[in-house]
Structure 1
Amino acid sequence: MAGTGRRRTPLTRTTSADHTTTRARPAPRPAGPFPDPNSRKGTPVIDTRLAAKYCRERINPQHLAEALHADPGTPTLATELRTALTALEMTEGFIAGLITPLDRSLRDVEQVLAAGRHDQIPLIENTGVLHARGPRLDALLARRAAQIDHLRSLTRLWAAEHPDTTPQ
């Protein structure tokens, strides 16, 4: 396969007392949905609404984007702030994704309890609605709380360095 143009990925080997597993290591993925830091073309505007929502500080997204491009090779407060905002946004998306199935399952239980003798009753998931999804929801809520605390710390540092930040 020398001329096929495909890159070969190195193998990882996992050994336990019972057996040895060999599989291809996945190719490295880019570090997020952001374009090449050296290129200004196509730079996404960073959503800073979560900082305003949880920290009561308005961060100018344009100033944050400019700070990201000022020194693209080294981690800065701007990169940490972007990472914290992105992580919190993803966590809230995961929580929102769990709410819909929980709500649907609880509405089914409510319908069964309110049904009369001749009403059609929906099937209820009997594997434990909260037992199946509750621990994940609890873990995500704990992660969200820790991310909000981290975002508040970063926002205070940003506000100290950038006087253009306005409190709400």
Structure 2
Amino acid sequence: MSTIDPASSTGGQFAAATALAGAAGLATASQATPAGQPSSGKPSDGIHVDLSPAGRTLAASKPASGRNSDIDNSNLPDTAKNLLKRIRELREELARKQQELQAVASAQNLTADQKQVRLAALNQAMSSLSGAIASTTAALAKSMEKASPEQQMSAAALAMG
């Protein structure tokens, strides 16, 4: 395992920026709560959304990589691009788990034991996701050690966004 010397000029800046990006992603992940539990009386496994036909057409016409177009259009190596996309995926999954955690915590249709089991499972999943974000961010920092200062700053900015 290699470490980046914080005193080194660009490597230290990149490491600090990516560390902040990882921490910011964990701290600022969505805090919104779901609109409510279904009225069927059985617990929900997540949030269900029905799209209108126009919405389905729009969703089908937009490429899946559209949300990562800023990464795809950057001048970064493919390895860095893939790591940045993975960090985004992990953060999105962490935000979903946080929403699930809030929904379970406020669910009125679960017993205390059911809540405890589900909350423990969600906390474990969130811990795993946080670890994956940290290791992916470290891999990104390592992959950018020999990159130009401009590429390092670009990668750091993309990691924060």
TM over 0.5: no
More strand by percentage: 1
Q: Which has the higher contact order (CA 8 A, sep 6+)?
A: 2
TM-score between the two structures when normalised by the length of structure 2: 0.36
Larger radius of gyration: 1
